[in-house]
Amino acid sequence: MAYAYVTNHIPKSTPANRRPGLVMHSNTITIHNTGNASSTAANERAWLTNPANNRTASYHIVVDEREAIECLPLNEAAWHAGDGSGARSGNRTSIGIEICESGNYAKTLDNAAELVARLLKERGWGISQLRRHFDWSGKVCPRLMYDGGKWTGWAAFKAAVEAKMKPKEEPKVNEKPEKADRLEAIVKVNGKELSEKGYVEKGITYVPVRAVAEALGAKVKWDGAAKSVEITR
């Protein structure tokens, strides 16, 4: 894995009801940008339990260039979709992922795509179960994918997730590697091709010694006990 996955849940006692403890049966994943160009995943996680934070806003996972931090259990509701608390609201049905804007953003995006691909696959979900924050409440979020309303970054992100969901091609198992590594060699002695063939393997040419020696007028003796070949002219 190219990034660390850290579980560091905020307590249920966190102020402003940021961890309401409502059981969630999710069926989508919602993507956000943090909206803060300088904060890391660790900063964002710390903010959730910072006493100065009085907003009822939370999410499940925040990801940056080096780690993903799970801040709330994925089967509990969080306040990230901006659409209230109805049974079908994003807040009650969707896993919220915050993508940091700090540091190496290309690496962060790659980590996010990797993370989302894994979450979708684990649940047997497809790319159609991805949502923008925008889809729930109309907020321009994830803002770095907005692109003046064209959302080309969003299309690119979904394509990246889809690519990571494709099963890696299995390396082909070679059934007869010894044959595949060998090149057959025609053996000629004084211009006459022998019916026996030789072969080349790892740069060494092997020839049928009896056929070659006898074609050269030599006598070949195989000593089975000594496992040796004797050639005499």
The beta-carbon contacts of 145-152 under 8 Å, at least 24 apart in sequence, are 145/31, 145/33
| Bridge pairing between strands 28-33 and 130-132 | parallel
Cβ at position 37, least distance to Zn ion in Å: 15
Distance CA 88, CA 33 (A): 23
Q: Which is nearer to Zn ion, 19 or 133 (CB)?
A: 133
CA distances for 202 relative to 175, 183, 188, 206, angstroms: 19, 10, 21, 10
Q: Rule CB under 5 A: which of 188-207 touch Zn ion?
A: none
- Least Cα distance to 117 among 164, 56, 175 occurs for 164
- Our finding on whether 131 is near Zn ion (CB under 5 A) is no
List the one residue from 109, 141, 161, 187 that touches Zn ion (CB under 5 A): 141
Question: What is the contact mask toward Zn ion in residues 79 to 118, using x (rule: CB under 5 A)?
Answer: ----------------------------------------
DSSP β-bridge partners for residue 5: 68
List the one residue from 19, 60, 133, 158 that touches Zn ion (CB under 5 A): 133
Q: How many other CB atoms are found less than 10 A from the CB of residue 1? A: 9
The strand order across the sheet containing 192-201 reads: 183-189, 192-201, 204-206
| Token pair listed for 37 | 């160009």
Q: Which is nearer to Zn ion, 95 or 141 (CB)?
A: 141
- Our finding on whether 132 is near Zn ion (CB under 5 A) is no
Residue 185 backbone dihedrals phi, psi, to 5 degrees: -125, 130
Question: What is the contact mask toward Zn ion in residues 31 to 50, using x (rule: CB under 5 A)?
Answer: -x------------------
Q: Which is nearer to Zn ion, 135 or 198 (CB)?
A: 135
Cβ at position 133, least distance to Zn ion in Å: 3
**Segment interacting with Zn ion (CB under 5 A) among 63-71, 129-137, 179-187, 215-223:** 129-137
Footprint of Zn ion (CB under 5 A): 32, 133, 141
